[in-house]
């Protein structure tokens, strides 16, 4: 699946599973953590808790499965057990897919710079003067 479009596939529980990051995901994620939308930034400040990682993966999986009318034969604790077997490097891909999603039509980056190289270039360029 294309992580740029809010999807990510990883092998959990012995099979390839798809996660979806969209409005339904953000609603589920907030519900799982018992937070409001404006509190999302606080979740990612100063490191992420294990419960947030588990909720992130669960919310992505359950969103895709519900949107595609798939039978859900797991719960958040099942997902937690699957995470014991997950390659920690996979988490970077999951987070990248999540960060490339949008919420209410807006880019969501939790204060993380997406393209620091591009930002450097624009910061060092001097703006053109308008014609007089």
Nearest to 5, CA basis, from 91, 97, 106, 92: 97
For 2-45, the pLDDT digits (tens) are 444 789 999 999 999 999 999 999 999 999 999 998 888 888 78
DSSP string spanning the chain? --GGGTEEEEEETTEEEEEE-SHHHHHHHHHHHT--GGGHHHHHTT---HHHHHHHHHHHHHHHHHHTT------HHHHHHHHTTS-HHHHHHHHHHHHT-EETTEE--TT--S-HHHHHHHHHSPPPPPP-
Q: Please list the residues that pair with 20 across neighbouring strands.
A: 7
For 61-120, the pLDDT digits (tens) are 999 999 999 999 999 999 999 999 898 888 888 988 888 877 655 555 444 444 445 444
Q: Where along the chain do its domains lie?
A: 3-124
Q: What is the pLDDT of residue 84?
A: 92
Q: Please list the residues that pair with 70 across neighbouring strands.
A: none
Contact 33, 52 (CB under 8 A): yes
């Amino acid at each position: 699946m294309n992580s740029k479009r809010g999807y990510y596939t990883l092998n959990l529980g012995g099979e390839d599973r798809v996660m979806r990051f969209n409005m339904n995901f953000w609603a589920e994620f907030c519900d799982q953590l018992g937070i409001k939308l404006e509190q999302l930034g606080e979740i990612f400040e100063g490191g992420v808790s294990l419960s947030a990682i588990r909720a992130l993966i669960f919310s992505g999986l359950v969103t895709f499965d519900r949107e595609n009318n798939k039978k859900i034969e797991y719960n958040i604790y099942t997902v937690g057990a699957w995470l014991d077997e997950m390659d920690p490097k996979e988490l970077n891909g999951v987070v990248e897919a999540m960060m490339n999603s949008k919420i209410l039509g807006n880019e969501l980056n939790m204060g993380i710079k997406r393209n620091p190289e591009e930002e450097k270039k624009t910061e060092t360029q001097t703006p053109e003067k308008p014609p007089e």
